[in-house]
Amino acid sequence: MPSFEQLKELLHPWGPLRAQPASDWRGTTALPPAVADFYARVGPWGETYHASVGPVGCTLAVHGNPVCIPPLYRLMDYQAGYAWVSHPGQPIAGWPAHWLVIAEQGGDPFIFDTQTQQVLFAFHGAGSWKPVVFAPDLPTAVGALATVANAFSALSDEEADPDGGLAGQGRQKITDALAGFLGSQERALQMLAAWEYFE
């Protein structure tokens, strides 16, 4: 599992970080300790583009839709459309109470499972939620996403190939960067497959 200092270094290019106390959580249930720790020690805060909106969190350019990690005070809002319709009093059937959306990519949620401590990934619009394991814990998930974003942003125009998806060399550089973070090529390929990153 990566350290919080490592996570701060990886997330630094994607917006301001700021320690956020658990009291910023606006949820109706207790904030999971692992999530509280992440916000207290790493604290994705982000830029403020409009005073009425406030900080938007860290937005990671990863190829395709960006991955958005909200500040803690907005985390409860990220449950809308997944756990409930327009407020927590309108739960959506089929969404387990122990799932917490901690980031999203174009409507596809990264889900923290409070029972297993794993982070899951699922595609929306499939009729039912069928998430797959993305990472064994929250720090690994966030570090992996930031690692991919950092590797993608370092690609040349030819490697990124905006007209037809990632070129072969770009794919390899991203895979190698993730393998370096996770400790093995096999784990990197498994994670990218679960995310369907190259699809």
Q: Transcribe 77-146 into DSSP letters.
A: GGGBTTTBSSSTTSBPTT--TTEEEEEEETTEEEEEETTT--EEE--TTSSS---EEEESSHHHHHHHHH
Distance from C-alpha of 182 to C-alpha of 137, rounded to nearest angstrom: 12
Helix (H, G, I), strand (E, B) or coil at 58: strand
Among 97, 68, 65, smallest CA distance to 82 is for 97
Between 185-195 and 168-182, two packed helices, what is the crossing angle to 10 degrees? 120
Whole-number average pLDDT of the chain: 93
What whole-number percentage of the chain has pLDDT above 90?
A: 73
Task: Name the pTM for this structure.
Answer: 0.95
pLDDT digits (tens, 9 = 90+) for 56-76: 999 999 998 999 999 999 999
What's the pLDDT score for residue 144? 98
- Chain center to CA of 93: 24
pLDDT beyond 70 at 35? yes
Element holding 181 (H helix, E strand) = helix 168-182
pLDDT beyond 80 at 171? yes
What's the pLDDT score for residue 10? 98
pLDDT beyond 90 at 24? yes
